Amino acid sequence: MKVKVKFTDQPYGFDSRDNCYIRALQSLFDVEFSDDPDLIFYSCFGTDFLAYPDSVRIFLANEPVLPNFNDCDYAIGAMDLTFGTRYFRQPPLLNYGETAWWEHIDGERTVPPDAFGRKFCNFIYANETGGSGAALRKEFCMRLAEYRSVDCPGRVLNNMPDALEKRYPNGKLRTREDLNASWAEEKLAFLRNYKFTIAFENTELPGFTTEKLIHPLMAGSVPIYWGNPQAAEYFNPKAFINCADYGSDLDAVIRRVEELDRDEEQYMEMLRQPPLSEGFPFGWEEELKAFLARIVEGGCVPLDKNPMGFDAMSAQSFGAMCREGKYGMRDIVRRSADALSGWLSYKIKRQRRK
């Protein structure tokens, strides 16, 4: 059975021909990449998906953005959501489904005997304002540094110039050339030198966990984690310091870090813990195949979305973003032109049907 597929509105660096979604489809069907797709997979980096009203829209929630089922037919993401048969929950993935993070975390930890004698703690961030976690982690880092110095090679609180290659060498992310493809490996090598890593997400979203927790677990550095309040569902709570266990009391978290920093036996025991919990959904790939198979075998029929046509349900809340100044005139003109083009296309098709 053939199925035509297209990926759009994805981040730079996303590989449309090598990811868990396309692999799942290719294991079941004859997949053709097409500009006239049966299935269109899109994310939160644009609204080009709107040009495909006759395709089944599948939103990939790989950023902290909740699916808008008035725009999409189905959605796939790590957030803890339930919406009938229209949402599939996957475990945290790397590179938007290109490589699974958890495959790189050893089940049994091999801990170097000198791990306790490593440097104290690191803090690697470029985002200083986006999300409530940005300000909170900066505050936490400065307070922890009153106990012992924290190494900060990122843009925020930088005290180690040129210690790490920049993730975005050109200071922006508009093309593939703006992305340092080796940055993750360089970061992991850096983390291996530290006992602790400050691992605060940008947002506190149930079910949503990123590389901020997983990278230090991969590198054998104990994460000091804030973000997903349900992180212990998939990750062993004995393997990291979870701020959710201490409420909003950052002082209590710092006291726990100090305790582990001074107690070699306690610290090494935490480091030896397997990172993943017993509840980790190791069979998720087969479940993903079943989710996609139901859509394709059901005829790839778009669902009725926003049937009453309420204005507040517009794609990506474009009007609200304009009012908040998040779009400049160039974006407004371009998107308005896209909207006009779409309207003209609709009128032409309608006229032809007459």
pLDDT value at position 313? Answer: 55
Identify whether residues 145 and 265 lie together within a single domain: yes
Identify whether residues 33 and 140 lie together within a single domain: no
Q: pLDDT for 299-334, tens place per residue? A: 999 998 877 766 555 565 666 667 667 677 877 787
Cβ proximity of 274 and 236 under 8 Å:
yes
Top mean-pLDDT range of 16-20, 93-97, 133-137: 133-137
CA angle 200, 203, 204 (to 5 degrees): 90
pLDDT value at position 46? Answer: 84
Q: Which residues share a beta bridge with 6?
A: 40
Span 196-216, mean pLDDT? 94
pLDDT value at position 335? Answer: 73
Q: Which domain holds residue 298?
A: 2-91+283-313
Cβ proximity of 238 and 270 under 8 Å:
yes
pLDDT value at position 349? Answer: 77
Identify whether residues 131 and 244 lie together within a single domain: yes
Among 2-6, 12-16, 51-55, 108-112, where is mean pLDDT lowest?
108-112
Span 26-52, mean pLDDT? 94
pLDDT value at position 305? Answer: 81
Q: pLDDT for 62-83, tens place per residue? A: 888 899 998 999 999 999 999 9
Identify whether residues 335 and 290 lie together within a single domain: no
Identify whether residues 134 and 239 lie together within a single domain: yes
Domain count, the chain: 3
CB atoms closer than 10 angstroms to residue 259: 11
Identify whether residues 116 and 213 lie together within a single domain: yes
**130 in a structural domain:** yes
Identify whether residues 125 and 247 lie together within a single domain: yes
Q: pLDDT for 116-145, tens place per residue? A: 999 999 999 999 998 999 999 999 999 999
Judge whether residue 162 has pLDDT over 90. no
Q: Which residues contact 150 (CB under 8 A, 6 or more apart)?
A: 120, 121, 122, 123, 141, 144, 157, 198
Identify whether residues 64 and 208 lie together within a single domain: no
**What whole-number distance in Å separates Cα of residue 130 and Cα of residue 117?**
34
pLDDT value at position 341? Answer: 81
CA 69 and chain centroid, separation = 19
Q: How confident is the model at residue 101 (pLDDT cuts 50, 70, 90)?
A: low
Identify whether residues 230 and 304 lie together within a single domain: no
pLDDT value at position 99? Answer: 63
Identify whether residues 79 and 225 lie together within a single domain: no
**227 in a structural domain:** yes
The whole-model pTM stands at: 0.84
CA angle 138, 142, 148 (to 5 degrees): 135
Put the strands of the sheet holding 119-122 in their side by side order. 119-122, 194-200, 222-226, 241-242
**96 in a structural domain:** no
**318 in a structural domain:** no
**98 in a structural domain:** no
Identify whether residues 211 and 305 lie together within a single domain: no
pLDDT value at position 324? Answer: 65
Tell me the torsion sign for CA atoms 106, 96, 296, 316. positive
Identify whether residues 27 and 77 lie together within a single domain: yes
**334 in a structural domain:** yes
Domain CATH for 204:
3.40.50.11660
